[in-house]
Amino acid sequence: MRRGKLLTLSLSLAMLMSSPTLRGAEPLTLSSTIEKAEQRRVEAIARATKSAVSVFVPGGGGGGSGVLISPDGYALTNFHVTSPAGSAMRCGLSDGNIYDAVIVGIDPVGDLAMIRLLGLDGKPRSDFPYAELGNSLTAEAGDWCMVIGNPFLLATNLQPTVTWGILSGVRRYQYPSGTLLEYGDCLQTDASVNPGNSGGPIYDADGKLLGIVGRCSFEKRGRVNVGVGYAISINQAVNFLGYLHSGRIVDHATLGATVATDQDDGSVRVTNILESSDAYRRGLRYASEVLSVDGRIVQSANDLQKVLATIPAGWRVKMSYREDGKTVDTLVRLRSVHLQDELLEKMSGALPPPPPIEKEKEKEKEDDSDDEEDSDEVEPDAAADDKIPPAVRKQLIERKGYANYFFNQKQQTRFIDSLRSQFPGQADQSNPAWEIEGNTVEAKPRPVKIRVGPDAIAMMVGETPMTAEDRGELYDAISQRSIGGIVSALEGWRRMLADGPKKFGESFYLGTMPLGGQRPLRDCMVGIDGEIEVRFLSHPDTGVVEVVEAFADRDEDPAELWILRDEVSSDQPPQMLDLRYGTDSVLKIKIDSWKKVEAK
């Protein structure tokens, strides 16, 4: 029997050796379809590799991966990758160079961080290779994908590791690791993901960025990859880009209500709700059925958690729910998951201990502090960390609640420059007043005259005069939801133009968010004037202010002043003002004239 098998094998080998292909008579050819697919894969890997970043913590403290997302050096990685490095790190690209990088913004809940690579000369550079963003919502299980990064810090020659596989799952939910690091709506892949891949990119088969790798499942007896890795979806990351560019330590959103999946009909029902939440003000109640949030259908309690995990705190999004058999479509402002101090405390618990400081330097620092005034904004102490390169230190300002206040100042400057370009000469006058005239938009129009300035804040609607003698009355107008809220918003807008962020009060760039639940995302600048918080939402392309919101209380509807134009252009003056509270319009004014005049 065995001899028969050997004879059969010998005959088979003889036939193979006599074939034209093995004799070299004819070259092996591939079908055009296979050849094109292979060429497409090779080109995609070559293109994607250029944007992958190898992150190294100075002093041998570990590292990870990242990915460039813009030509001016901004890159995404994981919070747990940057946290051991603090404010500065070293980053390698496949071009063979190592670049200094500085922290920009942090999302400790979503395990995201933004860093900025500097040029070899330490100056900003505008020609870095960067990834093309994909759409993770259209990704499906079974799609080809690749992970490129720095597993086990093997990229000592700065050439990253490439692994290939498929998306083995989409829209997964990973519960928080410890007290933070929640992965909502994430991607799952069987492409090899190992320690060091954290923060790196996962691309689709065309080399478009699908997400940021962050977690992987291991065998219990050791850190051995078992083919299950997870990535933060790029759509979630895009939601947070504006917040990360703000240089802040940012939080995620909550509805202000809890839900559960009904065991009888499978619907998603509210089980508890805060009466101070915007969702409650919009009519959501106990046992209401949640249908969709931010345009995404909710079919289970887990679905709602996954959607909310991808949204920054403070966003106002579309929501649909069913109450008493009626479907309600509305807009809801989402709350923060944490109070700021609570978030900072949890984040500090997730950070590695700071490096030891020599006793002499520590005492020297204490002596110096006795002579300084109290301030929550300081330049980094070179004695405390002399490893920070000078070029990085120039782009680093420490301040409570911020990963790097330098970048918030950068956004503030961009905002006020754009705002003033829409009102030429505004800042050149000492403190000009505005005079606006028009008519109400209603069945029987009434004439409207408004004056806001340092000398007077007044409005006349028809025969009814209204004045505000102090800021307390401006606050009351908002809190009472009166039409006088329009002058509160206008005065905040005028003052921001005249004084700028530094003189207005506590001011900061918040990030980007939807306007009326719609994309594209708008820039949002915040200025706090006494007890009134004023927010400015401007178009991302033109910088034109579209809405000014004046808050008397975070748990109440603000006075929303919508500035309506035929075109969103700085050359196009406003045609109409629309004052809203919540989803209700309370006063519309068709503008006839808008003048800047000297204050009396």
Choose among 169, 123, 167, 168: nearest CA to 145: 167
Phi, psi of 437 (to 5 degrees): -130, 145
**Which of 106, 173, 147 has the alpha carbon at shortest distance from 310?**
173
H or E stretch at 114: strand 112-117
Residue 414, classified by CB atoms within 10 Å of its CB into exposed (0-12), middle (13-18) or buried (19+), is middle
Structural contact between residues 207 and 45, judged by C-beta atoms closer than 8 angstroms: yes
Say which DSSP state 138 is in.
Answer: G
Q: Are 241 and 509 in contact (CB under 8 A)?
A: no
Cβ contacts of 548 within 8 Å, gap of 6 or more: 489, 490, 492, 493, 534, 535, 536, 537, 560, 561, 563
What is the Cβ-side half-sphere exposure of residue 156, based on CA atoms within 13 angstroms? 3
For tokens 């089980």, what's the residue? Answer: 271
**Dihedral through CA 174, CA 176, CA 181, CA 184, nearest 10?**
40
Give the H/E segment covering residue 268. Answer: strand 268-273
Domains of the chain: 136-245 (2.40.10.10), 253-333 (2.30.42.10), 410-597 (2.50.20)
Distances (CA, A) of 223 to 84, 175, 193, 219: 20, 20, 11, 6
pLDDT tens string, the chain, 600 residues long: the values are: 444 444 444 445 455 455 555 555 677 777 888 888 889 999 999 999 999 999 999 877 788 999 999 999 999 999 999 999 899 999 999 999 999 999 999 999 999 999 999 999 999 999 999 999 999 999 999 999 999 999 988 888 899 999 999 999 999 988 776 667 888 889 999 999 988 899 999 999 999 999 999 877 665 555 556 678 899 999 999 999 999 999 999 999 999 999 999 998 999 999 999 999 999 999 999 999 999 999 999 999 999 999 999 999 999 999 999 999 999 999 999 999 999 999 999 888 766 654 444 444 444 444 444 433 333 444 444 444 567 899 999 999 999 999 999 999 999 999 999 998 887 655 555 678 999 999 999 999 999 999 999 988 999 999 999 999 888 999 999 999 999 999 999 999 999 998 999 999 899 999 999 999 999 999 999 999 889 999 999 999 889 999 999 999 989 999 999 999 887 666 677 899 999 999 999 999 999 999 888 887
Contact 579, 486 (CB under 8 A): yes
Whole-number Å distance between alpha carbons of 256 and 337: 9
**284: its two tokens:** 């959501």
Q: Are 527 and 549 in contact (CB under 8 A)?
A: no
How far is it, in rounded angstroms, from Cα 69 to Cα 234?
Answer: 11
Under DSSP, the state recorded for 287 is T
d(CA 587, CA 332): 21
Q: How many helices and strands, by DSSP H and E, does the chain display?
A: 12, 33
